[in-house]
Each structure stands twice: as C-alpha cells, then as structure tokens.
Structure 1
Amino acid sequence: MIMWHPGRDGRNLQARASAAVDTAAHGLGFTLDATQRAAADRLALLAGQLAAAPAGAHLLHRRHHVRGVYLWGPPGRGKSWLADTWHAALPQGFAYRVHFHDFFRRLHDSAFRHRGEARAVDAAMAELVGRARVVCFDEFHVHDPGDAMLVTRLLRELLDRRVTLVATSNYAPDALLPNPLFHHLFAPAIALLHEHLDIVEVAGPRDYRTLAAPAAAAGFRAGALVSPDDAASLAAFGLAAPGPDEAADLHLGRRALRTRAVRDGELWFDYAQLCETPTGTADYLALADRFATWVVGGIPAWLACSSDGRQRLASVVDVAYDRDIRLFLTGPDHPGRPPAGAPTPADYTRTASRLAQLRDSAELPTATR
C-alpha cells in the first residue's frame, strides 16, 4: 500500500491510479476492453477528485462529498479486479474495501460489542470504517426482503458521514431485489445509489474466469471438482481421505457443526452436514477466517439436492472464491454443477463462472488420476 503525502502525490493520484490498472493488465497479458477502459478511467477520475478534496472535508461539509462509482455487469468481466487494483493504488487508510455481506457480519459483531451504548450502530460504523474516505463494496446484491431496510439504513449512514461509495455488482441498481413482490422495499436505496454514484456497466465479451488457470495456481484456483468421490481421486490432488475416528464437532459461537475432519488449516465436511442443515453465509465467513482449505464431500446429483442445499452450496463457492480458499467439491456426478435445464439458485451464473476456474478431475489425464 502507498503511504499518503499531501502535495505532489495528491495531484498525481489520478494518473497513478490509471497507470496501476494498465500495469496490472499488462502483467496478466491482456488489454482492457472498451467497457473496462471506461470503468478504469472513471475510477481514476474519482481518485483525482478525492485527492483534490480537503482532507477531512467529507466529515464536515456536504459540498465536499465526492460522487462514487457503481460497476455492474455479467460475472467474470473484471469488475472486482478493477476495483481491487484501483484500491491498491490509493494511499494507505484512504479506502476500506470489503465483501458486501462480510461487512454486515462485521457490523453486527461490532454493534454487539457496543451494545448498551446510546448509538451502538454509529460506534460500530466508526470502528469499521474509521476515517476512510471511501468504502468499496464487492458483490453488492440484495435478494432477501428482510435485508432491504438494513441495507437502506447502511447506505444512509455512510452517505450521511459523507463517505464516497464504490461498489461492484452483477445487477444494475434498478434490478436489485428483483422479486416483484418485494422490489418496492428497496426503491429508497436504489434512489440513493442513483443520486450519489455514477452507474458504469462493465459488460465486455469475455468471461475472464473461464481462461485456463496457470500451472502454479494457488488459493481458490488450486481447488478442484473431484469425481468419483473416492480415495484414489482425492489422492490425485494431494488429499488423504479422513478416517471415521477424525469426525469432530466444530464450534461456531454457540453452534456446533459436525465435520469429517479438522486438520491444520484443512476442513472436511459432508455436503449433508454443511448444506442440508440451517447454515448460512455468516457461518462460512467465520470458517474462512480459520481454514485455508475446504473439502466438501458426498455431494449428490444436482436434482437430488434440496433447493436450499443448492443455494447454500452456491454460497459456499462464493465465500471460498471471495476469501481465496482452496476448495474441493467431491461427488459421483459433476459435483456442484446442474444438468441442462435444471433449476438453479439466484446468482448461479456468478457461481458457475467461479466453478469454471477449478480443475476438474474428469479432464485430467488418466495417468494423473
């Protein structure tokens, strides 16, 4: 991260942010498409505008509020990469970047620590955001009507603090909370997004996540879809199937989840225990804080999974991707992937784009299996 110095560094921040994106793209061996270029230019302009605003003015004067940016488009078009690269070019402490629903978890935990205070949410917000001038939300999406009012309040709190927002999403603002029965609940938040952010579509022709993973892939891309679900298939990926005596309860707060094994940095679950029981994104985020490798085994054929189980499995994939967890999904029939025409969870196009980055045991040479 670059340390902030007033004067020349501030005046050059727009150019530095633009150059950072070009340098990163060159290092990865590709050229920005037209929609990525437009998004990169708008983010660079934002960096310059933030640098030009007096330090601390966003906390004191409405006239110094800097308009944010909302990047949206299909999965795999580089929205998160653009925002990450831009964020890395900013001065240290200038921006707070977080996965959108991870922010909710952290806010809840912080508000709990401040319980009993007159303005617990304000104290929690100050603890999380500090004096950051920008909050960057990745994967901004709303499907649950119960979240609609919470998200609206969150946006209002941040904007009242004169914080500039940057967000990435697979949805245009007007398409958030798409269920027509509940969409009206989110209309106030959508109006806030249009009022305070420039909406930039990033919808180039290529899904970059479908490109072949480098041979030395690490993190999420070092995981795999493993079929059949047996010791030999697992061994091809350096995994040793746990024995019955390794089964153990893993405690998350007051809850206990049954695991196949808990090893040093490595966590093994049966699909039925992880996805067909009432777990949720908050649980997966907590697990991501503690384990760098997950193996979810015994995944049945897609149509044999419940709709809730499929949704939870998609959430597992999304959290593993966002936290760069090495994820292995094992089962007898293309684990985690639906047959043509089968029902899929909300946002499954994003999940499918991410699964495409994992190695597939069915595509490995026979000698390596």
Structure 2
Amino acid sequence: MVDPRTGDGVGSLVGRTPQLGRDRIVAELVPSPRFADVSFGSYVPAPDQPSQARAVEVLQGLAERVRAGRAGEQGGSGLRRLLGGRPKAPAGAPGVYLDGGFGVGKTHLLASTWHAVPGPKAFGTFVEYTNLVGALGFAEAVRALSPMTLVAIDEFELDDPGDTVLMARLLRELVDAGVHLAATSNTLPGSLGEGRFAADDFLREIQAVGSHFEVARVDGEDYRHRGLPDPPAPLDDADLVTAARDAGPGAVLDDFGALTEHLARVHPSRYRALLDGVEAVFWRDVRPLADQNVALRTVVLADRMYDLSLPLAVSGAGLADLFTPEMLEGGYRKKYYRALSRLTSLARGTA
C-alpha cells in the first residue's frame, strides 16, 4: 500500500491488515529464510567456549532420539497405528533447553536440530506458539501440534501469569503425546518470569515447564557485535525519503509514531504477513518508546524483520535510544537488548 504521507511511490505498513487462515498459521511454523539451510556442520563452536561444542552434542543426541522414535513408530503394529498410539519414547529427556546470551548461535542450533529430524515438525518463537493458541484455541492448537515429531521453541520466555499456565499445559499435552521439545532462551527454566510478575505464585507451573528439559548452557560473545561498528547515524527526513524511493517497490516508509499505533490494531501473529513483499524498511522520526506495550509490540516486529533480513534505515532518534533506560533495566530487558542487537544488525546491512 502506498502512503501519500511518505512520498509518491513509496509503500507503507500502515493500513495493511493481513488476514491469516489456520493452514497458513501452522504452515509458517518453520525456520525463517536466514536459517533455511543451517546444520550442525555449519555451526562453528568457538574454541574458547567449550559449552558451544557440548550444546551441539546434546542436540545431536536429541535428534537421534527423535529419529529413533519415528523409526519405532513406523515399525509398530498395524493395530497400534490404527488406534493412533505411539511406542514408548527412547530413554532421555523429552526436550533440550538451550540457555545463553544474545548472538551465540542458539537459534542456529535450534534450526539445525529441526532440519536433522523427520517431519511433521514445527519451529517457531515462543510468541508464535502463544499466538497459535490465541488464533486456534487451546484444544485445536494441541491437535495441530500433537502429531509433530519435534516442536522447537525459540526465545522461550514467560511474560505473564497467563503465559505461564498456558505453556505449562501445552507442553504437558505435547510430551504426553510423545512429542519431543527443543527450546532456546536467555533465562534458566527456574528463573522464568522473574521481574515480570509474582513468579513465586506460579512456581508449580514453572517447575513443570523445567521438568521437560535437559538444560544445556551456551556461552560466548554476541556475534553481531564482534568487531562490527556502531549502528549508522540516523538520516535526516529528506535523505530518508530519497533512500526509500531509491530502494524500489519493495521498500516501505512509515512515520514511526503512526506505525506503532497501527501495530496495536494488528494481532502479532500477523506481523510476518504484514511484511509480505517487503524488501527494505524505513522509519521516519523515531522517538524513544515510553509505553511498555508499544515497546513489546515493536520487539515482535523487529524479530519478524530480522527473520526476513530486511535492511533498516531511520531518521529521528538513533536505534540505541529506542527503549528508555528504565525499560533496559526492567523485567523485559532481555527482550529489548535482543531487539536492539537485531535492529542494529539490520541497520548495518550485516544481518
């Protein structure tokens, strides 16, 4: 959609209202294009970080259990297949949980695990799974995910009590159905929810989530910051419009305030579809985000932009000032720092 406020011939995200059916929501539970061809072999552990090589070994073990489980299922009796039953899962934890900082390759390893196992299988962010439940309902989401050999959950985090109870129930249902799990997070299972709500009141649910996983730590430095320059300085408005026009028909240019208002009217499960056909993103008159809800929606949009490797340029405030100091010290700080890391990478053109 072309927005006349941004200059003739330049598209805009504001005004787009994508609609998604059940089949597309489930079909999109695959690794993003940037991780379409990764493998365990393409992950290069840092020599001074032995936990990275150990994480590869743990996930390869999980992939072997998934493959063994599928082989046992295919070799089971006709009666068991007729009744829809599954053989007993091979010994070992039903899931692996990668804990580590930003940019150490956790998503690369998670996608490598997904690629290494037979289907049907699902890969998505934590938010995409909660959105799946919101779009389909809990029972239908369980039916959609229960046939999977593996459910991979990137950026696992419990942001509120509702998510805590929901994910505890969902994971229990999937494990009972014989589904293996793999997850990444920046928070150990026992610390999920800290700083966001009264996590002690939901200790049973948090412990239930943790019981499904073997934890593997992944240490290291954020690769997006290894020897790379600071994010580019913001452009002035005139140069931003010129750059957006020069970027071609796949560019979108939005007033940042109008864009954040529009995000409130689009369900986060549709943010990927919001970016259909987009090849470059331009934000005009960026200002620090003072509202937590607005900031969290912007984080989801940043994640979807990063999935698609969309170049980013801005005017107004710099990306480093997008989130207030209070936000960067609060309970959601890990989400905000991840978003800053990813947006900076997109602005550098090094995503």
Give the TM-score, by structure 2 length.
Answer: 0.71
Read off the aligned partner of 1:125 and give its amino acid letter: V
Tell me whether 284-293 or 325-334 shows the greater mean CA deviation. Answer: 284-293
Q: 1:59 to 1:168 in 2, by over 3 A?
A: farther
Find the aligned partners of 1:190 and 1:46 in 2 and give their Cα distance.
Answer: 22
Query: Partner of 1:171: helix, strand, or coil?
Result: coil
* Deviation digits for residues 142-198 of structure 1 (CA, Å, limit 9, x no counterpart): 112232222222112212212111000111111111137421354233222332210
Across the aligned residues of Structure 1 and Structure 2, the Cα RMSD in angstroms comes to 3.5
Name the CA shift for 1:125/1:227 in 2 (closer, same or farther; >3 Å).
same
Q: Which residue in the other structure is 1:272 paired with? A: 257
Matches within 5 A, 1:199-278: 199-204=215-220, 206-211=221-226, 227-233=234-240, 235=242, 238-240=243-245, 264-276=249-261, 278=264
Deviations 1:6-49 (A, max 9, x none): xxxxxxxxxxxxx942x3035xx965831111110001111222
Which of these residues, 276, 294, 297, is aligned with residue 281 of structure 2? 294
Task: Measure the CA separation in 1 of the matches of 2:298 and 2:112.
Answer: 29
Residues 48 and 191 of structure 1: CA distance in aligned 2, closer, same or farther (over 3 Å): same
Percent of aligned pairs with the same amino acid: 25
Gaps of 5+ in 1: 1-18, 112-120, 214-223, 243-262, 362-369
Query: How many angstroms does 1:101 deviate by?
Result: 1.2
> Structure 2 CA distance, aligned partners of 1:95 and 1:310?
31
For residues 111-150 of structure 1, what are the alpha-carbon distances to aligned partners after superposition, in whole Å with 9 as ceiling and x for unaligned? 4xxxxxxxxx4444333x3632111111111112232222
Aligned positions, number: 294
Note the 1:1-369 alignment, pairs <5 A.
20-21=39-40, 23-25=41-43, 33-53=49-69, 54-55=72-73, 59-61=85-87, 64=90, 66-67=92-93, 68-91=95-118, 93-111=119-137, 121-127=138-144, 129=145, 131-179=147-195, 181-204=197-220, 206-211=221-226, 227-233=234-240, 235=242, 238-240=243-245, 264-276=249-261, 278-279=264-265, 281-289=268-276, 291-300=278-287, 302=288, 305-321=290-306, 323-335=307-319, 337=321, 341=325, 343-344=327-328, 346=332, 347=334, 348-360=336-348
Given that 2:63 and 2:116 are in contact with CA atoms closer than 8 Å, whether structure 1 keeps it comes out as no
Distance 1:165 1:308 in 2: 29
SS at match of 1:352: helix
Aligned CA distance change for structure 1 residues 265 and 107 (closer, same or farther; 3 Å):
farther
Q: Which has the higher contact order (CA 8 A, sep 6+)?
A: 2
Deviating more after overlay: 161-170 vs 195-204: 195-204
Mapped to 2, the partners of 1:66 and 1:160 lie a distance apart of 14
1:96 counterpart letter in structure 2: A
Contact 1:226/1:329 (8 A) holds in 2: no
Instruction: Check the 8 A contact 1:275/1:309 in 2, yes or no.
Output: yes
Q: 1:329, CA displacement in angstroms?
A: 4.5
Instruction: Write the deviation string for residues 190-233 of structure 1: whole angstroms up to 9, x where unpaired.
Output: 222332210111122x11121367xxxxxxxxxx8661332324
